[in-house]
Amino acid sequence: MSNNSCMDLTAKGGFSFDLCKRNAMLSQKGLKLPPFRKTGTTIVGLVFQDGVILGADTRATEGPIVCDKNCEKIHYMAPNIYCCGAGTAADTEAVTDMVSSQLQLHRYHTGRESRVVTALTLLKKHLFNYQGHVSAALVLGGVDCTGPHLHTIYPHGSTDTLPFATMGSGSLAAMSVFESKYKEGLSRDEGIKLVSEAVCSGIFNDLGSGSNVDVCVITKGHKEYLRNHMLPNPRTYVSERGYSFPKKTEVLMTKITPMKEKVEVTEGGDAMEE
């Protein structure tokens, strides 16, 4: 009886409110909604002799499941500014993309290299506006004309300026490494080693972080994005026997016909702006 009426409604289109009562009843009984994708994370940054080094792990989690084993948490903001993001993955991606485009427009407008405080102010304005509902915790680092800067930005919009910083669920494990080993005036290699150590501490001691270590070194006029700088969790067992799949369809003939070129490709020409 009721089934027939349901089918009539869905045929007309529009939102079907049939399940709302059931959902309300379930949530009252204590059923939790499926969790959204978070980057339960270890992100770190430190200021060294010539600039800033950022580091991050590469695990993205959806509740108890690892949904991405090798995601990128160090986001591009400007040629001289990078930002690590922890919290809800969609929020960190969207916010960093948005501010990155705003910085680009600002660069066109002013004709100058972007400053880290500009990115900082744009980010904290946006996050404060949304009163913490945009769940993005960021470590922002870069080198501009005023020198190297490292900032942390919390989801509610407050910021800190620090010589070394960690955020995310693995922040305590990483901070214990920084607090015991950080010195001022580290060289590039010492800095990378310390950052990797801190991220590894998060990877091995925190369940929300794992897989590989990404490092980004920013100095005056130069940046180096070391994607998968360390792979401390290799796949150790690979079956030696290999796999044999049963033959299904036989290949009778192979013929390759090159497509006619429809577009003229000219070498040289104007390069696109970055």
Partner 1 sequence: MESNSETKQHTLLSSESGIQRTQYPYVTGSSVVALKYKDGILMAADMGGSYGSTLRYKSLERIKPVGKHSIIGASGEISDFQEIMRYLDDQVLNDNMWDDGNSLGPKEIHSYLTRVMYNRRNKFDPLWNTLILGGVKKGQKFLGMVTMIGVNFEENHIATGFGNHMAQPLLRAEWHENLTFEEGVTLLEKCMRVLLYRDRSAVNKFQIAKITEEGVTVSQPYALKTFWGFKAFENPTAGAEGSW
Catalytic residue among 39, 41, 58, 88: 41
> Quick one: which of 27, 121, 129, 187 contacts partner 1 (CB under 8 A)?
121
DSSP 208: T
Report in angstroms the alpha-carbon separations of 110 from 45, 104, 105, 114.
Answer: 28, 10, 9, 9
Nearer to partner 1, 89 or 150 (CB): 150
What's the closest the beta carbon of residue 182 comes to partner 1, in angstroms?
A: 8
56 binds partner 1 (CB under 8 A): no
Cα end-to-end distance, the chain, whole Å = 63
Nearer to partner 1, 87 or 202 (CB): 202
Nearer to partner 1, 63 or 185 (CB): 185
Give residues with Cβ within 8 angstroms of 132, minimum separation 6: 155, 156, 157
230 binds partner 1 (CB under 8 A): no
Q: Packing angle between helix 116-129 and helix 89-110, nearest 10 degrees?
A: 130
- Choose among 87, 98, 97: nearest CA to 156: 87
167 binds partner 1 (CB under 8 A): no
> Quick one: which of 70, 129, 131, 158 contacts partner 1 (CB under 8 A)?
158
Nearer to partner 1, 67 or 162 (CB): 162
Q: What share of the chain is helix, strand, coil (3-state, %, to 5)?
A: 30, 25, 40
Phi, psi of 52 (to 5 degrees): -130, 140
Q: Which amino acid is at 99?
A: V
Stated as kind and residue range, the H or E segment containing 71 is: none
180 binds partner 1 (CB under 8 A): yes
> Quick one: which of 43, 44, 47, 186 contacts partner 1 (CB under 8 A)?
47
266 is catalytic: no
Q: Which residues are catalytic?
A: 41
In the complex, the residues that contact partner 1 under the rule CB under 8 A are 47, 116-117, 120-121, 124, 146-147, 149, 151, 158-163, 172-173, 175-177, 179-180, 184, 197, 201, 204-205
